[in-house]
Amino acid sequence: MEPDNDAPPGAGAWAPGKVAELLGVSPVTLRSWSARYGIGPPAGAGRHRRYSDADVRRLQHMQRLVARGMPVREAAEAAFGRSPAGLEVPASRRARELTEAADELRYASVAGLLDETLGTLGPAAAWTEVLAPVLRGLGDRWQRGDVCFASEWALTSEISLAFERFSRRFPAAVPGRPVLLACCPAERHSLPVEALRATLAEAAVPVAYLGQLVPAETVADLAARLDPVLVVLWSTAPATADDLLAARIRALGCAVGTAGPGWEHLGDRGFRWVNDLASAVELAVEHAGA
């Protein structure tokens, strides 16, 4: 379906009728969404009302959220990244809504809020400003004896899926030697690495992501066969920082970066160590020559 071109310059390209047809809703429904949730071009534009490509993409996203059981108003807010009043949603409110939805195991809302946060802020800001604070909050609650395992597992699995959905927006196979990302063999904490992967996907840096608990043999085998520009080994806790593996990968002739607080106690072992998302992105981009 093609957008029509008889609109004045600067207006979006999609006439309401075309959008309604594309979404499979009646023009009346579309108009009511516009009136009720402030979606799309202002009513005042009369017969020149046009929807932009971004409007159409967000409407399709809103429909997916509704199809997953989210109330229309919440889906409109999530898809258009704002409350009805048009205000940008502060990170603290996103964090609160996400924690509440996770605690109440409202999976559809968790997924919708994550997609909206990633879509609006991008993976780096979403991780640093919203997701990491929420996860730290969960960790602190756990430390205080608040048994929030259900929320933690619900949220962490949905965060992984949301990063996956976000990364799939970009071409899967970016040409070039990849940055190989792996958690150390005994390390299950992968979310910071998934945030890095999504940020590199957005930056068109080729990545091969291996996930959690990656056996040393597997990292070594893939490093030998993929000829990566850099191998990043992640560790959260000192017990999982595998410096023998790092040395083994370096002996294969690969550049090795160690990432995460788990490596801190080892001091300088001749590997670049990064302990925040921005520095890890910089290290990867530097090696990828992007």
Contact residues: ligand B12, CB under 6 A: 132, 135-136, 138-139, 142-143, 152-153, 156, 160, 186-192, 195-196, 236-237, 240, 259-261, 274-277, 280
Least CB distance to ligand B12 at residue 124 (A): 9
**Minimal distance, residue 148 CB to ligand B12, in Å:** 9
The nearer residue to ligand B12, 196 or 254, going by C-beta atoms, is 196
Shorter beta-carbon distance to ligand B12: residue 5 or 143: 143
- Least Å distance, CB 158 to ligand B12, is 11
Q: How far is the CB of 223 from ligand B12 (least distance, A)?
A: 19
Q: Give whichever of 120 and 258 is closer to ligand B12, judged by the CB atom.
A: 258
The residue with its CB nearest to ligand B12 is 139
Between 79 and 219, whose beta carbon lies closer to ligand B12?
219
By beta-carbon proximity to ligand B12, the closer residue of 69 and 215 is: 215
Judged by beta carbon, residue 227 or residue 264, the one nearer ligand B12 is 264
- The least distance separating ligand B12 from the CB of residue 157, rounded to whole angstroms, comes to 8
Q: How far is the CB of 70 from ligand B12 (least distance, A)?
A: 24
In DSSP notation, the chain reads -PPP--SPTTS-SB-HHHHHHHHT--HHHHHHHHHHH--SS-GGGGGG--B-HHHHHHHHHHHHHHHTT--HHHHHHHHHTB-TT-PBPPHHHHHHHHHHHHHTT-HHHHHHHHHHHHHHH-HHHIIIIIIHHHHHHHHHHHHTT---HHHHHHHHHHHHHHHHHHHTTS-S--SSPPEEEEE-TT----HHHHHHHHHHHHTT--EEE--SS--HHHHHHHHHHH--SEEEEE-SSGGG--HHHHHHHHHTT--EEEESGGGGGG--SSSEEE-SHHHHHHHHHHHHT-
